[in-house]
Amino acid sequence: MDRDFRQGHIEIDFPTEPFHSAFRLLASSAVLFFANLRFLAAVTLLVYLPAKLALQFVLYVLNVPTDGIVTYLALDLSDLVLSALVIPAVVYGVVARFRGGQTAPVRESLRWGRRQWGKTLWNMFKVEVTVALWGALLVVPGLVAMVRLIFTDAIVAIEADRETEVLARSRVLSKGHGWRIFLVLLPLMAAGLVGSFLVLGAFEETAYSRVLMAVADSVLSVGEQWTTVAVLLMYLGVVRPAAPAKAGP
């Protein structure tokens, strides 16, 4: 995988399954998620757990209530910053499994995540603003914008230095696949919302509960990597690698 660092993108040099069925992709993503759960948990918790504990400590020192708007905003912002590191690391590790049968080492995956962190964060921010602006008009335009930009993180993680117009690239890749993408995302988003609601509403205002909240929030983020895996499979299903050139006579 060192060549990926040298060339500035991840080579997709293995067979991929076309994205024709939302149900089939959800099933495949579930299998892939649980098969790689140890790796996904390690990458996610190494980043999220210390950061979430530090954040909760700061909020405790500042006497910010756990159920206040400041806490919600702080958690959302931290999720954005941390996921910009974790998602490209997860993609890197899982792609290595497709190539060689096992995930990349955690340290190497996080190294790729750090390499892509700034670009991922900037494009995540642009996606959040775009979806929020469209969603402020009506719910449906916001959902459409979200579906069209769903491949943004995967594009940054895989195509990396080769692609500068990331949002435009996502719109091109998602064209013609909107309903299937939405049907894949719908149950995953619903599960994420329920999990977030349970985590944020389960703890009273105590110092000890903040530790539990940080741990629960970090564990919940491991589950959210199912969405990362599903989006990766959708991306691979719509980006068909070029067939190798035939050798001359």
| pLDDT tens, residue by residue, 61-85 | 888 887 778 888 898 899 999 999 9
Predicted confidence (pLDDT) at residue 132 exceeds the cutoff of 60? yes
Residue 64's Cβ-count burial label (10 Å; 0-12, 13-18, 19+) is middle
pLDDT class for 150, splitting at 50, 70, 90? very high
The structure's pTM equals 0.89
- Confidence at residue 123, expressed as pLDDT on a 0 to 100 scale: 94
| Residue carrying the six token digits 């099933």 | 27
- Cα–Cα distance, 110 to 10 (Å, whole number): 14
Tell me the pLDDT tens digit for each residue of 156-202: 999 999 999 999 999 999 999 999 999 999 999 888 888 777 766 66
Mean pLDDT lowest for which of 21-25, 55-59, 70-74, 104-108?
70-74
pLDDT digits (tens, 9 = 90+) for 209-235: 788 888 988 999 999 999 999 999 999
**Lowest-confidence segment of 94-103, 155-164, 238-247 by average pLDDT:** 238-247
Q: Which of 77-86, 118-127, 205-214 has the lowest mean pLDDT?
A: 205-214
